Amino acid sequence: MAQSSLCQPMFLLAFTHTPKRLASDIASDQGQVLVIVTAAVGGFTLLVILTLFLLITGRCQWYFKAKMTAEDKRQTDYHNGHVPFPGIKTYVDPDTYEDPTQAIHEFTKEIDPSRIRIERVIGAGEFGEVCGGRLRTSGKKEIAVAIKTLKGGYVERQRRDFLREASIMGQFDHPNIIRLEGVVTKSRPVMIVVEYMENGSLDSFLRQHDGHFTVIQLVGMLRGIASGMKYLSDMGYVHRDLAARNILVNSNLVCKVSDFGLSRVLEDDPEAAYTTTGGKIPIRWTAPEAIAYRKFSSASDAWSYGIVMWEVMSYGERPYWEMSNQDVILSIEEGYRLPAPMGCPVALHQLMLHCWQKERNHRPKFVDIVSFLDKLIRNPSSLLPLVEDLQSLPESPAEDMDYPMFISVGDWLDSIKMSQYKSNFMAAGFNTMDSVARMSIE
Ligand code: ACK
């Protein structure tokens, strides 16, 4: 036995006759090996899982981006800074779609061309003729429509730009925004069908009817435009080319904002001129910050709205008359503002001047403009004081004036969201509306 045990190989001896300490070392070695193996297997598995996860989510992201719906895009816009109002949809820029035809599908209705009857040409657009005609609705009713056509021989970019306006218009639903009936994209000619506006563009309509309307009628038109603009600004849409030529008027004198398409709008606009910064801008209608560094916003739209007010109250006069664009820019910079047109109520010229404040945050919001005009309409005597009457009056104390004041200075400041200046006005002695009316722009 002893012999045989002597003959055992050394390693066996080591196992059979090892001291206690040596056995625990080996056990610890075994443990370490086990830990290393487990860690390696675990690490590898984790790596595989991680890779699979990245691959799947990466693919999903790509897939979801391609499949992004308008709602997702609205959410993206929200995270990019535009805060939507609860219950109010926000505008989605069709350019955020990888495939612009997806935006067309999402926001417009395809119309079967057999339902359209083109009757006459009413004008010319950059992309083709604008026609008048009839559309048979799904309820078998016939309605008057305007049909914008895309002339033959277009390139893909022109088709996309043309239809872009439809995918913008199709997102809006408001009585003061031109309504899109649908599009024809599956046959030629490609068409955009919109509601018919019997009186055409506001600028030419006013020129043709110089002096024909009451102040209340004019204020009613302005109220409509402001309401349409409030809707657009609530949706986060900046028009950039608000001008009387881009407002359409129907047979009931309802004014509707039209001509959508951001940069393309400016490309089309004969009033748009190239600036030193390279953009094409309708100088006379545009806020200084938008001309200087392309800072377009609802506040710059409010500036343009003030110019539209001036166009309306002057029956389509050209803003700044024959002044050159350069002179307009310099004059505005020096503090010059358009004077009140003949027959313009003080209250309306004051509102224009507010829209033309250099500091864009001081301009009224469209919601303020609508409520201010509503107050005027509800109290027509507030429109009696005309700027020229005030100018012809001797320097008499305000209390001596025999026309009714429309609202207090406090009310007026509240309505244009400038309540914080009440004490400044009072301290400076502007405690009646006619003293405010006499206030110079400086
Ligand atoms: O001033 P107008 O008669 O009104 O001439 C122009 C012309 O087409 C070129 O734009 C008229 N127009 C545009 N859209 C419409 C519409 N929806 N309803 C009636 N006329 C329209 C515009």
Token pair 């919001």 is at which residue?
365
Distance 256 CA to ligand 1 centre (A): 12
The DSSP output letter for 386 is B
- Residue 50 belongs to a domain: no
Is residue 16 over pLDDT 60? no
Residue nearest to atom 4 of ligand 1 (CA): 200
Q: In this structure, are 421 and 354 located in the same domain?
A: yes
Q: Is the CB of 196 inside a 6 Å radius of any atom of ligand 1?
A: yes
Question: What is the reported pLDDT for 48?
Answer: 73
Q: What mean pLDDT value characterizes the chain?
A: 82
Rounded to a whole number of angstroms, the distance between the first and last alpha carbons of the chain is: 122
For residue range 68-83, list pLDDT tens digits in order.
Answer: 555 555 544 544 445 5
The token pair that represents 133 in the structure block: 């005609």
The Cα–Cα gap between 76 and 302 comes to: 26
Full residue range of the structural domain in which residue 419 is found:
202-437
CB neighbour list of residue 268: distance below 8 Å, 6 or more residues apart: 125, 126, 259, 261
Q: What is the mean pLDDT of residues 60-65?
A: 44
Is residue 159 over pLDDT 60? yes
| The length of the chain, given as a count of residues | 442
CATH number at residue 411: 1.10.510.10
For 230-262, give one letter per residue: b (16+ CB within 10 A) or e: bbbbbbbbbbbbbbbbbbbbbeebbbbbbbbbb
The Cα–Cα gap between 97 and 73 comes to: 9
- Residue 103 belongs to a domain: yes
Percentage above 90 pLDDT, the chain: 61
Q: In this structure, are 348 and 209 located in the same domain?
A: yes
By annotation, the residues acting in catalysis are 241
Q: Mark which of 180, 195, 210 sits at the end of a domain.
A: 195
Distance 255 CA to ligand 1 centre (A): 13
Q: Is the CB of 201 inside a 6 Å radius of any atom of ligand 1?
A: yes
Q: In this structure, are 106 and 209 located in the same domain?
A: no
Residue nearest to atom 12 of ligand 1 (CA): 200
Q: In this structure, are 186 and 207 located in the same domain?
A: no
Fill in the amino acid letter for 239. Answer: H
Q: Is the CB of 204 inside a 6 Å radius of any atom of ligand 1?
A: yes
CATH number at residue 148: 3.30.200.20
Q: Is the CB of 135 inside a 6 Å radius of any atom of ligand 1?
A: no
10 three-class SS: helix
116 three-class SS: strand
Q: Is the CB of 291 inside a 6 Å radius of any atom of ligand 1?
A: no
The Cα–Cα gap between 25 and 30 comes to: 9
Q: Is the CB of 146 inside a 6 Å radius of any atom of ligand 1?
A: yes
Write out the H or E segment, with its range, that includes residue 30: helix 20-67
For residue range 247-260, list pLDDT tens digits in order.
Answer: 999 999 999 999 99
Ligand 1, pocket-test mutation among 129, 199, 201, most atoms within 8 A of CB:
201
* pTM for this entry: 0.74
Which residues sit in the known binding site for ATP? Answer: 148
Q: In this structure, are 242 and 353 located in the same domain?
A: yes
Is residue 164 over pLDDT 70? yes
In which band, very low, low, confident or very high, does the pLDDT at 400 lie, cut at 50, 70 and 90? very low
Q: In this structure, are 127 and 231 located in the same domain?
A: no
What phi and psi, each to the nearest 5 degrees, are found at residue 341? -65, 160
* Ligand 1, atom nearest to 124 Cα: 9
Residue 179 CA: distances (Å) to CA of 115, 210, 220: 18, 28, 20
- Residue 1 belongs to a domain: no
Token pair 């609205």 is at which residue?
74
Q: Is the CB of 335 inside a 6 Å radius of any atom of ligand 1?
A: no
Q: Mark which of 169, 195, 221 sits at the end of a domain.
A: 195
146: burial class by Cβ within 10 Å (0-12, 13-18, 19+)?
buried
Fill in the amino acid letter for 37. Answer: V
Residue 436 CA: distances (Å) to CA of 215, 349, 407: 21, 11, 12
CB atoms within 10 A of CB 197: 22
Q: In this structure, are 422 and 278 located in the same domain?
A: yes
Evaluate whether 220 touches 377 at the Cβ level (below 8 Å). Answer: yes
Q: In this structure, are 281 and 384 located in the same domain?
A: yes
* Number of domains into which the chain is organized: 2
- Residue 71 belongs to a domain: no
Question: What is the reported pLDDT for 423?
Answer: 78
- Residue 87 belongs to a domain: no
Residue nearest to atom 2 of ligand 1 (CA): 200
Is residue 278 over pLDDT 80? no
Is residue 398 over pLDDT 60? no
Residue, of 77 and 137, whose pLDDT is higher: 137
- Residue 21 belongs to a domain: no
Q: Mark which of 195, 215, 241 sits at the end of a domain.
A: 195
Ligand 1, pocket-test mutation among 119, 120, 130, most atoms within 8 A of CB:
130
Evaluate whether 127 touches 150 at the Cβ level (below 8 Å). Answer: yes
Q: In this structure, are 427 and 295 located in the same domain?
A: yes
Q: Which of 247, 263, 253 is CA-nearest to residue 308?
A: 247
Which residues sit in the known binding site? Answer: 148
Distance 406 CA to ligand 1 centre (A): 37
For residue range 328-349, list pLDDT tens digits in order.
Answer: 999 999 999 999 999 999 999 9
- Residue 359 belongs to a domain: yes
Ligand 1, pocket-test mutation among 248, 259, 265, 271, most atoms within 8 A of CB:
248
Q: In this structure, are 244 and 114 located in the same domain?
A: no
Which residue intervals of 68-135 are DSSP H helices? Answer: 70-79, 100-107
* Ligand 1, atom nearest to 194 Cα: 17
The Cα–Cα gap between 73 and 167 comes to: 14
Q: In this structure, are 114 and 244 located in the same domain?
A: no
Question: What is the reported pLDDT for 225?
Answer: 98
Q: What angle do CA 304, 306, 308 make, to 5 degrees?
A: 70
Q: In this structure, are 140 and 254 located in the same domain?
A: no
Residue nearest to atom 14 of ligand 1 (CA): 146
- Residue 40 belongs to a domain: no
Q: What is the mean pLDDT of residues 408-412?
A: 71
Residue nearest to atom 6 of ligand 1 (CA): 123
The Cα–Cα gap between 176 and 180 comes to: 12
The Cα–Cα gap between 90 and 76 comes to: 11
